[in-house]
A and B are shown apart, each in its own frame.
Chain A
Amino acid sequence: MAVGFPTKVDYNTGDVLSAQNMNDLSGTVNLLDGTQSAAGKNSIINSAMQVWQRGTTALAAATSAATGFTADRWQLYRASFTANCTGSRQLTADTVNLPNIQYGLRIQRTAGDTSTNFVRLVQTFETVNSIPLAGKTVTLSFYAKKGANYSPTNGALSVNVDYGTGTDQNYITGFTGNTNISATLPILTTTYQRFTASFTVPAAATQLATYFAFTPTGTAGANDWFEITGVQLEASTVASAFSTNGATVQAELSACQRYYYRAVADTTSQNFGAGQCFTITGGRVVVSYPVTMRTRPTSLEQSGTAADYQVRNIAGTGVALSVVPTYTALTTAQVAEVLFTVASGLVAGNATILFSANTSAYLGWSAEL
């Protein structure tokens, strides 16, 4: 590897370090190699498909502009919010064509589906992460491959970057002044390949979105899918070696949890939070997020079955909820509050703990765009 600087080793009093001293003699730029990570270089969060808080299989396409999240930060939707398309985590099992990336995201049309409405996988950037790229030449790179029955014409994948001039808008809902700034149509094969595209982000851009799309043809076969991973958007005229947004898996998880957090019951009797009974049939518990969220979550997700959750009574025995855990208005970006209701058996004023009755229980909060 060429040495970037300095080329001059010995200095005398009065010597000036010149540009010539700093430049590589061969004119090349030293880049990090594939085993090194440069935190923050890559603007894509969860670019290596490492974080899947909502599950790892059969994650359905959106039924509205606010749904359809697959791997964290990656939203899947079809024209007219058509169904029969899912996202799932896949082992890449490829150390030849990929720089040691464990997982890929598979976007698959359900076998037998006859709709030819487009399929899009999008990551919307919030404004604070878009403005640093405004006015700069950037390069989008990614690794992708197709299934044996991938149906679009010529096996093409549409790769796009759009910008807008609003603030923290969801791409599907619509950017103010939405404009496409990069559109390429690489041809996929059944082996992972790296694709790149360089372009300039207008200085007026305050929102960015990257999306990968295809328009299916005919009836879906068993392998009408594409897989993608190692997605990188960087302020550079060329694609550098891939690295994730965060330098570690924990950093990547934390970045994702700024937008969404799900507390999943790994075991029966996993505690979610402690609180107080206000009556003999109910009360509230507080749950701390691992990181401060982007904004105040406005919803609470849970399994849909009240009996998946219990609270402790005065004897420490579990009492099943009779109503699913419910959002309260005291939920903030820092800490959540959950309302619980049981048929009977609590003592007003007593402390209690909300916990899982089984491994189906979970609590989730979204601060997605």
Chain B
Amino acid sequence: MKYEYLHDEDGIKIYARIDDDNLCRVTCTEDNPDYLAWLEEQKPVKAPKVVDETAPE
């Protein structure tokens, strides 16, 4: 999955999300949470930590 820039509209950048099957199912602005999360993921890995949720206490 990746995002591609589409065009600028009234100063707002519009992007297309291209899924792994090459289809675009989402178009969005540059302040869309999913787009921002994707941008964040492009940086060094920052994902939920692995912990044992159901280990007996």
Contacts and interface: CB of A to CB of B under 8 A. Distances in A.
Interface stretch (A4-12, A39-47, A61-69, A249-257): A61-69
A170 B48 CA distance: 13
A64 B37 contact: yes
Given A64-B37, A324-B24, A327-B14, A118 B29 contact: no
Contacts of A325: 27
Interface string A139-178: 0000000000000111011100000000000101100000
B43 interface: no
Contact of A298 (B29, B51, B55): B29
Nearest to B11: A329
A78 to B, nearest CB: 8
B54 A326 contact: no
A215 B49 CA distance: 12
Q: Which of B9, B23, B29 has the most CB of A within 10 A?
A: B29
A304 interface: yes
B27 A324 contact: yes
B44 interface: no
Contact of B56 (A67, A80, A156): A156
B28 A328 contact: no
Contacts of B56: 153-154, 156, 185
Nearest to A184: B57
A298 B31 contact: yes
A185 B57 contact: yes
Contact of A327 (B1, B10, B29, B34): B29
Interface string A187-228: 000000000000000000000000001110000000000000
B32 A214 contact: no
A81 B29 contact: no
Interface in A284-307: 298-305
A328 B33 contact: no
Contact of A300 (B26, B38, B52): B26
A117 interface: yes
B4 interface: no
9 contacts: A66-B32, A118-B50, A118-B52, A154-B54, A156-B54, A157-B54, A170-B33, A185-B57, A215-B52
Interface of B: 1, 6, 9-10, 12, 14, 16, 19, 21, 23-29, 31-38, 41, 45, 47-57
Interface of A: 63-67, 77-81, 117-120, 152-154, 156-158, 170, 172-173, 185, 213-215, 298-305, 324-330, 368
